[in-house]
Amino acid sequence: MIADDAVSVPLVEPDAEGVAPDLRRQVQQQRLGELVDRLLAAGGLQAARLADSGVTGGADVSLDSLGRLPMVTKRDLWEHYPHGLRAVPAEDVVCVHGSSGTGGRPTLVPYTAHDVDIWARVMARALGGAGATRRSIVHNAYGYGLFTGGLGVHHGGIRLGATVVPMSGGMTERQIRMLVDVRPDILTCTPSYAIFLGEAMRAADVEGDSLRAGLFGAEPWTNEMRVQIERLLGLRALDIYGLSEIIGPGVACESLDSDGMLNVAEDHFYVEAVDSDGDPVPDGTPGELVFTTLTKTGMPLLRYRSGDVAVLAGPVPGAPRTLRRMSKLLGRTDDMLVVRGVNVFPTEIEAVLLADERVSPHYLVVEDRRDAARPELRVAVEPAVTVDEERLAGELDAALRERLGITCVVRVLARGSVPRTEVGKARRFARWTGGEAPLAGID
């Protein structure tokens, strides 16, 4: 495992990552003006909204006045499917990425060659912050395809000059074989698959002793899960954040010297944190992340409401990276549970469960709304060791009640009861409004 004081983490792009914040702000201001000019020239939804706000050109907009400008939401992208808010001619688009979107409604994002270059640059920074170099071998187990994870890491690894092993997701036996034979030092995949892979390696009595660090994202995960991953794989587990609407992975990433938070590539992606009314919240206060793509050309976005909730902070004092930072995701605005008047993010539940060493990282949270007047939270867990199941359930219920302020129905199920995933994102939350239980034994 990598220790903080044992590794020097050089900057991949010193003029971007290590520049004085006041100089970076000058660059951001210039790029904001250029973005507004591009949007107005492209016409369409964002241009119309800018015009309605009295903006006639980039010179009319400043970073200090950004909060007065209109926002873009996921619904805007849905309503302009399939071409989204494309701002360039079709012949300038070199690839398209996206996801199924919330509720299965698709989101597609066009990229120009310029956008792909930016993506490669910020991903190279992310890998470099994890200690990767030109001599590194990156085992990339994110899925390749419309999902941005696999190709984003791939672009960044090649840009850095590292060797990329494009495994994609699934095929766990082959993944293990490559980890043993090729001996990569960097692992990239979802945190849930990192757990799955670590358990499979342990079951096969195989150690990935070449691994030094991993970048795990595409799902909210807690520091408690970090402990589980590091214990299983013997590496330093770091968080990476991105969304296809902005660029993909690399929007922000934890580094070995970022003190547990994620460095935001803010020379390309200006970030704000706002409350439910869209008003700014101070650093250190949870808020919804709003991103402005300062340099993107294919589908540039001005003040995109991400739906992701986190805390913003300044750079680590005295650190070589002078970028603003964001916390690990606390949750999503659309995933917040309101149970008997109490607001709960699923990540708060995970933090309690995985703080108990008797609990495995496989769990499911169920919002039981079969009786809309009396909603309940049901939590299914699996034990990591042999336990008194009734006692464990009672103690977890007490811990959750102390943390959340509400009573939960905890069920300790046999190992293997909670479904695993080899490909895609783990399913850790379900809503139950009627019919069969989402998981046997949770009722």
Q: What is the pLDDT of residue 1?
A: 39
**By CB neighbour count within 10 A (0-12 exposed, 13-18 middle, 19+ buried), where does 255 fall?**
buried
Task: State which fold the 337-432 domain adopts.
Answer: GMP Synthetase; Chain A, domain 3 (3.30.300)
Nearest to 217 by CA among 198, 235, 242: 242
Beta bridge partners of 367: 377, 431
The CATH code for residues 4-24+77-332 is 3.40.50.12780
Number of residues written out for the chain: 443
User: How many alpha carbons lie under 13 Å from residue 317 in its C-beta half-sphere?
Assistant: 0
Q: What is the pLDDT of residue 338?
A: 73
Q: For residue 134, what are the contacts with CB-CB under 8 A and spacing of at least 6?
A: 160, 161, 162
Q: What is the pLDDT along the chain (443 residues), one digit of tens a residue?
A: 344 444 558 999 999 999 999 999 999 999 999 999 999 999 999 999 999 999 999 999 999 999 999 999 999 999 998 888 999 999 999 999 987 555 556 789 999 999 999 999 999 999 999 999 999 999 999 999 998 999 999 999 999 999 999 999 889 999 999 999 999 999 999 999 999 999 999 999 998 899 999 999 998 899 999 999 999 999 999 999 999 999 999 999 999 999 999 999 999 999 999 999 999 999 999 999 999 999 999 999 999 999 999 999 999 999 999 999 999 999 888 777 777 777 788 888 888 998 898 999 899 999 888 987 788 889 999 998 888 999 999 999 999 988 888 888 999 999 889 988 777 777 888 889 889 999 988 88
What is the model's pTM? 0.88
* Residue ranges matching CATH 3.30.300.30 in the chain: 337-432
* Residue ranges matching CATH 3.40.50.12780 in the chain: 4-24+77-332
